[in-house]
Structure 1
Amino acid sequence: MSAGGLKDAARRLGERAAAVARRLGVGGIFAKLLLISLSTLAVTFLVYNLLSSQLVGRDMLDRRQGVEGAELRRTITLLETAARDGWSDDSIRTALQLVVPPQMKSILIIDRGGRYMQIGQVPLPESDIRELIASAGIGRSPEARTEMVKNDSGKYIVSSQYVPSLDRYVVSLSTGFQREFRRVQNLNALAIGIAIAVSVLVSWAFSRYMTRRIRRMSLGAEQFAKGRFETKIADRSTDELGQLAGSLNRMAGDLGALEQMRRDFLANVSHDLRSPLTSIHGYLEAILDGTVPRDKADRYLRITQDQTARLMKLVSDLLDMSKIEAGQFDVVPAEFDLADMIRLLLSRMESTFSHHSVRYEIAGLPGGERRERAEPEGAEAGKAGTAGAPRAAEPGEVLVVGDPHRLEQVMVNLLQNAMAFSPHGSTVHVTLECGPDRACVSVRDEGIGMSEEQARRIWERFYKSDEARGGRGGTGIGLSIVKHILDAHGSRIEVRSEPGQGSEFRFCLVRAGLAGSDEQYRESSEK
């Protein structure tokens, strides 16, 4: 066979072996549980056998030696009685055979010449008997003694005593201890076999139960990976796997909600992009082909400009959200006049308020309406960056520390949000509250309001509730960007709202021109 044929045969053999292993559960939970169970049993019984061989064996030997000594004394008493009564050897043999267990013990009655009479059937040749007698020290000790003697035939308990009244040595050879110890070992082996069988059955049943649950989770996770987040993993247990199943179900619910919000977001973005682009394309085409009179072209160009600004706002929000997700969204703190920024912003947005048929009111701005003033040389540089020494606030100014561009973005989002949900003819209230160390801004509308659940979720990306935000335009990311900007400034935005009663958004900034204002800003940002 060629080398290629050998490789193919080896590959097929490997595939078959892998298939058989999968069917047998090798490498799975069953095999691992079985291996753990058998290893535990093996170590346990190994330790048990070592201990039992030492402790149980010694205890059995001590007890057996005591029993053999007592039986030897009874035998000697019987022999002394026979000697006094003049029993014949046959009578003595018959009497001893009644008390000596067959196949377990032999009684030897030995005279000084070494001749002996054996009663019992311990299967030993005469040479072994004489060797055991010599090993036990027969004839050298006048006291009764019991010894454990080992030879090639096994282990024996040899009990001996010299009887002066008989002038004989009485020796007992017993194999009972060895048989008892073997019986204990056989029982241990039987227990090991039963334990192994039970372990295999329990491991198999438990592994099937666990793998069934894990397989359900695996199938559920595959469904989640395919976007079928409505799938639920059924597991009512309260153990760790049950908790994992609950976590996976909650994750699927969150992913499903996020996926739905993403779809709504794409639909809203597509609509928000298509509508102004369609308007821009239509108006420019009408102007170019002469459909729109020249005296009205400026009006349609302004509409086109507004639609372009709307597109730029949408693209800017998308870019900001992308930077936030990438961790590249930064703020550049500087000292600036918050009151002046609010005045300028509201002035620029007057046409937007008129378009929505909504009024605005300002409260708390020092100096009332914005007034023009000459800037000293270098003042603009001091307002635009952190370089240079802090300057004292002039009358009508509210100096704070923050990124003026990002905070203006916050105000634009809050004002546009207020206008979007305000009925025609209502008022948007903008209030500036100046404290000793902080300046707070609130934007309140007279619109449709929100429920407590909606107020809690408005900071989520893409969130648009059907009641409070659906059908009003927007992509659902404006307020999420607002919260991220204020979090970066160490400021917490608060919202108070009731259905039908309007909504109020409020945030605070650290005042500038105060001792330690930079440290306060850094501490707030770290928080």
Structure 2
Amino acid sequence: MKNKSLTFQVWAVSAGIIAGVFICLVLYFNISISSFFTDETYKTIELAQDTFLQSKNKDKNLELEEINAENIGMIQDTRSVTQVVYPYQNLNIIKRFSRSSLTNDLMKIIEKETMTQTETSKRYDYKLSSGRLYYVIKKTNFEGKDSYIISFMMDTYRNKLVKDVTEKLIVGGIIAIMISLMVSMAFSNYITAPIKFLEGRVKRIAKQDWYDSLKLERGDELGRLAESIEDMRIQLIKRDEWRQNMLQQVSHELKTPVMVIRNYVQAVEDGIYPNGTLQGTMKVIDEEAIMLQKRIKDLLQLSKLEYVNSKPVKNQLYSLCDVISDVFYKIKANNMELQWDIETLEDALTLGDKEQFTIVLENLLDNASRYARKKVEVSLYIEQGKYTIRIYNDGEEIDEKDFENLFLPFTKGKNGKYGLGLSIVKEIVECHGANIQAKNENNGVAFYIANIKNV
């Protein structure tokens, strides 16, 4: 069934549930109605007994020899009650039924029941070929003598009522099922129509046809799903624009050093030295090659950003102090002209991806070394039960208008490269459940990574 359409599944499940509930209700009500009307039959018999005794009219007593298995249903109308008093005129039941064709078994059963009954009134029933016979035996005083009044009633009226009510219940149930199925079909279409719409839009987005906005005016789960798809569409457009922008910039930057290297190589092959000497010419080629290498590294940064977005964060235990110290002294070794100060805890264990967090510190310390005039400070401390890292440099302060876009890709500072470093940092930090912000302070700039897990 999972391979069927959602509309069919909703309709089929609804139909199955409704049909199941209907069948259970029919069975339940049939049993309940049968029980109810059986009780009503006995109440009718008992009411007829009381009326008979109050009237003291013995003429209403039916001669027993007139009763037999064939005519007992014909003697009564659908709700008539036959009254028999025992003993009557000093005759017992067996003798009174001796000339009837009613079975002796029933006669013996009734006589035995009257002799053994201890209750004042008791209900009985007996299965005849023409139906079920309900009767009540009641102890009483009839014409001054201790007697039993035996009142009979066939199940004709009861069966008719049960049949009529059951038929009406079935008809009503069928109508209810048809209405419910129509409602369920309309509801399934109400549910599946926006799903089909979203499916079509997602397919278009997969083919990069994503420039039409997606709006679904609903406040339910489907509406929130549409909002999520719309957010995804916007992010995909932004990433595609970033990628195109990066490729254009990198292509332009790669084109110049490649062209210079080729021209110089061809000139040397022709015996011409553009810089006057072979050594000077080769130096230019080497410088352009270094520039080309840097541009390739920048391009790899873009791939690294994509990698960070797609790779799940590891949940490994590591020392934050060790990572900070390793990166600190590595960057310091390449910038010995600056003053480097570090202050960390004795130990700071945290959970996360050590490799990715190393990238964060490398980017921040590399930026600090490029922008610093004389000094770089690194400190690690506990704030509200979690770790905070502060990286400060005494370089030029950031303009207030630049703070909003500081962590967006391709947002470059004065000494920046392609503006990818801080965007990578933000992605990794937020994936670890922490947050990062920059502040102007002490005639410089400080970056704070806060809410790092403390284990």
Aligned to 1:226: 207
Structure 2 counterpart of 1:249, one-letter code: E
Q: 2:135–2:152: 8 Å Cα contact kept in structure 1? A: yes
Residue 158 of structure 2 corresponds to residue 177 of structure 1:
yes
Aligned runs of 1:323-472 on 2, under 5 Å?
A: 325=307, 333=326, 336=329, 341-343=334-336, 364=339, 429-433=373-377, 441-442=392-393, 444-445=395-396, 450-455=401-406, 457-458=407-408, 463-465=409-411
**Unmatched tracts of structure 1, length 5 or more:** 1-20, 84-99, 118-125, 345-361, 367-402, 419-427, 510-523
For residue 108 of structure 1, report the CA deviation from its aligned partner.
5.9
Amino acid at match of 1:333: D
Please state how far the C-alpha of 1:214 moved relative to its aligned partner: 1.1
1:487, 1:525 within 8 Å by CA — same for their partners in 2? no
3-state SS of the aligned residue for 1:156?
strand
Instruction: Provide the aligned length of Structure 1 versus Structure 2.
Output: 389
**Structure 1: which amino acid aligns with 2:77?**
P
**Contact (CA 8 Å) 1:429, 1:443: kept in 2 or not?**
yes
1:239 aligns with 2:220: yes
Secondary structure in 2 matching 1:157: strand
1:66 alignment partner in structure 2: 43
How far apart, CA to CA, are the structure 1 residues paired with 2:149 and 2:178? 53
Instruction: Report the Cα distance in structure 1 between the residues aligned to 2:390 and 2:221, rounded to whole angstroms.
Output: 50
AA aligned to 2:131 is G
Residues 125 and 132, structure 2, Cα contact 8 Å, conserved in 1: yes
Within 5 Å, which residues of 2 pair with 1:105-254? Answer: 105=80, 107=82, 112=91, 113-114=95-96, 127=101, 136-137=110-111, 140-141=114-115, 145-159=122-136, 164-165=142-143, 171-175=151-155, 176-254=157-235
- Judge conservation of contact 1:493–1:506 (CA < 8 Å) in 2: no
Provide closer, same or farther for how the CA distance between residues 301 and 71 of structure 1 changes in structure 2, counting only shifts above 3 A.
same
Aligned-partner Cα distance in 2 for 1:285–1:68:
125
Given that 2:135 and 2:150 are in contact with CA atoms closer than 8 Å, whether structure 1 keeps it comes out as no
Tell me how far 1:215 sits from its aligned partner: 0.6
Ranges in structure 2 where 5+ consecutive residues have no aligned partner: 61-74, 315-321, 342-356, 382-388
CA gap 1:406/1:301 in 2 versus in 1, 3 angstroms: farther
Seen in structure 2, the aligned counterparts of structure 1 residues 270 and 338 have a Cα distance that, compared at 3 Å, is closer
Aligned partners of 1:160 and 1:171 also within 8 Å? yes
After the TM superposition, which residues 463-482 of structure 1 pair with which residues of structure 2 at under 5 Å, given as runs?
463-465=409-411, 474-480=417-423
| Residue type at the aligned position of 2:186 | A
Q: Distance in 2 between matches of 1:439 and 1:114?
A: 115
Separation of aligned partners in 1, 2:359 and 2:50: 113
Q: Is the 8 A contact 2:19 2:177 kept in 1?
A: no
Verify the 8 A CA contact 1:34 1:199 in the aligned structure 2: no
How far has the Cα of 1:184 moved from its partner? 3.3
What letter corresponds to residue 477 of structure 1 in structure 2? L
The secondary structure found in structure 1 opposite 2:373 is: strand
Change (3 A) 1:305 1:412: farther
For residues 171 and 227 of structure 2, the distance between their equivalents in structure 1, rounded to whole angstroms, comes to 45
1:196-225 Cα shifts (integer Å, max 9, x gaps): 222211211111111112111111111111
Q: Is the 8 A contact 2:331 2:365 kept in 1?
A: no
The answer to whether the 8 A contact 1:160-1:172 is kept is: no
Distance apart, 1:78 and its partner CA: 4.5
Q: Report the RMSD for the aligned CA atoms in angstroms.
A: 5.1
